[in-house]
Chains A and B, each alone.
Chain A
Amino acid sequence: MTDVRLNMAKVEAEAAAPPRRRPGTALSRERAAWGFVAPALIAIGVFFAIPVFAALLLSLTDFDIYALADLHNVRFVGLQNYERLFANPLFWGAMKNTGLFAVLGVPLSIAASLAAAVILNARVVKWRPLWRVMFFAPYVTTLVATAVLWNYLLHTRYGVINWAIASVGLPPVDWLGQPENSIPAILMFVVWKIFGYNMLIFLAVLQTVPDDLYEAARIDGAGAWKRFTNVTLPAIAPTLLLVSIISVAGFFQLFAEPYVMTQGGPAQSTVTVLYFMYEEGFKWWNLGSASAVAFVLFICILAVTLVQLAVAKRMGAYE
Chain B
Amino acid sequence: MSGRRIRSLLLNAGVAFIALLVLFPLAWMVSVSFMSTGEAATFPPPLLPRTWTLEHYRDLFVTQGMGRYLWNSFALATLATGLALLFTVPAGYAFAKLRFKGRERVFQLLVGALVVPAQIGTLPLFLMLKGMGLVNTYAGALVPWLASIFGLFLVRQYSLSIPDEMLEAARIDGASEGQIFRRVVLPTLQPIIVTLALFVFLGSWNDFLWPLIILTDQSNYTLPVALAALSREHVQDVEMMMAGAVITVAPVLILFLALQRYYIRGMLAGSVKG
Q: Which residues of A contact B (CB under 8 A)?
A: 2, 5-6, 9, 13, 16-17, 20-24, 26, 28-30, 32-37, 39-41, 43-44, 46-52, 54-55, 58, 116, 119-120, 122, 124-126, 131-138, 140-146, 148-153, 157-160, 163, 192, 196-197, 200-201, 204-205, 224, 239, 246, 249, 253, 255-256, 259-260, 274, 277-278, 281-282, 287, 290-291, 294-295, 297-298, 301-302, 305, 319
Contacts and interface: CB of A to CB of B under 8 A. Distances in A.
A124 B91 contact: no
A197 B271 CA distance: 10
A19 to B, nearest CB: 10
A149 B241 CA distance: 8
B198 to A, nearest CB: 9
B115 A301 contact: yes
Nearest to B247: A145
A145 B128 contact: no
A137 B256 contact: yes
A55 B264 contact: no
Given A144-B228, A152-B32, A239-B272, 7 more contacts: A33-B94, A36-B90, A55-B121, A55-B124, A58-B127, A145-B245, A158-B40
B220 to A, nearest CB: 16
A246 to B, nearest CB: 8
28 contacts: A23-B172, A24-B171, A29-B99, A33-B94, A36-B90, A40-B91, A44-B110, A47-B121, A51-B120, A51-B122, A52-B121, A137-B253, A142-B223, A143-B224, A145-B227, A148-B227, A149-B28, A151-B231, A152-B241, A152-B242, A153-B28, A158-B40, A160-B45, A163-B43, A224-B7, A274-B119, A294-B122, A302-B115
Contact of B125 (A47, A135, A152, A278): A47
B113 A48 contact: yes
Interface centre among B14, B28, B99, B152 (most CB of A within 10 A): B99
Interface string B199-233: 00010011011000100000000011101100100
Contacts of B24: 160
A40 to B, nearest CB: 4
B18 A135 contact: yes
A24 B88 contact: no
A2 B100 CA distance: 10
A319 B273 contact: yes
Contacts of A46: 147
B238 interface: yes
Given A23-B171, A34-B100, A159 B263 contact: no
A51 B11 contact: no
A2 B101 contact: yes
Contacts of B21: 192
Contacts of B32: 152
B29 interface: yes
A242 B231 CA distance: 37
Contacts of B242: 149, 152
Contacts of B225: 144
A249 B238 CA distance: 33
B188 interface: no
B168 A13 contact: yes
Nearest to B245: A145
A44 B165 CA distance: 31
Contacts of A291: 123-124
B187 interface: no
B15 A119 contact: yes
Nearest to B274: A318
Interface string B251-269: 0110011001001100110
A168 B232 CA distance: 32
A296 B253 CA distance: 35
B123 A281 contact: yes
A17 B241 contact: no
Contact of A119 (B14, B95, B165): B14
A224 to B, nearest CB: 8
